Amino acid sequence: MSFFSIPNISIDGVCGVVPKNILNNKDYDYINEKERQFLIKTTGIARKRHVDKGVTALDLGERAAKELIEKIGWRKDEVDLLVLVTQSRDYYLPSSAIILQHNIGLSRDCMAFDIGLGCSGYVYGLSIVGKFLQTGQFKKAILVAGDVSSVSTNYEDKSTYPLFGDGVSATALSYSKGAPEMFFDIQNDGTNHEAIIIRDGGAKNLFDEDSTVVKNYGEGINRSKKDLELNGLDVFSFSIKEPPQNIKNILEKTSTPIESIDYFVFHQANRLIIETIRKKLKIPAEKVPYSLTDYGNTSSASIPITICDQLKTEASNKKMLLCGFGVGLSWGSCILDTKNILCLDPIEY
């Protein structure tokens, strides 16, 4: 069953943290000027942020969660659940969420675990946290989502390096009896798991000497097996086909007229993908906010960063459709009615 609803959830606040270091794609000198201009125009990604060496998703997530908890006025000891969606964990083990629980200063009674998802991860994360909260046994939860993708993109791979930026978000959710239902439609396709992959470093292919050897895989694409590999054609084909159908399905299953949605917040993969989806579904441009121009593809943080950076106070009292899609392959949509969401401006780390 890919379609389900979750009642009694309030989204109380959203916050995004990005590194201070700005890398402009106009300065990406691995490709020539003509190609650079074409890349920026087509992807829409003018710049992105990278962490300093040693700074991780856990660090950005700690800052995001602490800021959010303080600004919405929660006590740390009343947070019952911490979920971290990331593919850039600090260690093979233990789970980064447990370290994060300690670093934020949450109670030992706060349940904490990681979810290893990327671009679809925010929608997944909302659904998982929502399920824990819906009965009221858990009252307050923090969902931290994002990645430090710069550690796994090779400068000499034009299919990944210019696209991905680092960023992590925090979202505060609470049990709120009688709150409007949130609706989800979530899907996966493991047959295409190699379309976006880091081949070495997991249990299947242990990290060894060969993992760091850089090889050529086509014009402008040099990488090692420890680097992120992205099959552009297959990922693009998937991205403009499956998410629009998923959106049509969830709108139909919930009898929601497409024009009743105030904002469609898409995972910020690249402008060409989002514009193709938008045109296919005949969504007015003003209902589709973008943050990728300044932050690039920030993985599971891209939807909340877009909400904070572009919608701000406009995010409150709206009907929104969120759609994430990517590595897995994995994709899903969520329809929700917001009340008063505190959206903090993106914070620099």
Active-site residue numbers? 119, 267, 297
272 touches other proteins by CB under 8 A = yes
217 touches other proteins by CB under 8 A = no
236 touches other proteins by CB under 8 A = yes
Binding segment for other proteins among 38-46, 135-143, 261-269, 301-309 (CB under 8 A)? Answer: 38-46
Q: What angle do CA 307, 87, 313 make, to 5 degrees?
A: 10
Binding segment for other proteins among 113-121, 204-212, 225-233, 252-260 (CB under 8 A)? Answer: 225-233
Looking at 215, 279, 317, 345, which residue binds other proteins (CB under 8 A)? 279
# binding residues, other proteins (CB under 8 A): 20
Report which residue type is found at 155: Y
241 touches other proteins by CB under 8 A = yes
Binding segment for other proteins among 66-74, 132-140, 270-278, 288-296 (CB under 8 A)? Answer: 270-278
287 touches other proteins by CB under 8 A = no
Within 10 angstroms of residue 280's Cβ, the number of other Cβ atoms is 15
Query: Taking the complex as a whole, how short is the minimal distance between the CB of residue 238 and other proteins, in angstroms?
Result: 9
Is residue 348 a contact partner of residue 269, using CB atoms and an 8 Å limit?
no
196 touches other proteins by CB under 8 A = no
38 touches other proteins by CB under 8 A = yes
Measured CA distances, 262 to 169, 288, 322 (Å): 22, 9, 11
Within 10 angstroms of residue 192's Cβ, the number of other Cβ atoms is 18
As a whole number of angstroms, the distance between CA 147 and CA 89 comes to 8
Looking at 8, 159, 169, 306, which residue binds other proteins (CB under 8 A)? 159
310 touches other proteins by CB under 8 A = no
* Residue given tokens 């401006």 in the structure block: 345
24 touches other proteins by CB under 8 A = no
Contacts with other proteins by CB under 8 A lie at 35, 38-39, 42, 159, 218, 231-234, 236-237, 240-241, 272-273, 275-276, 279-280
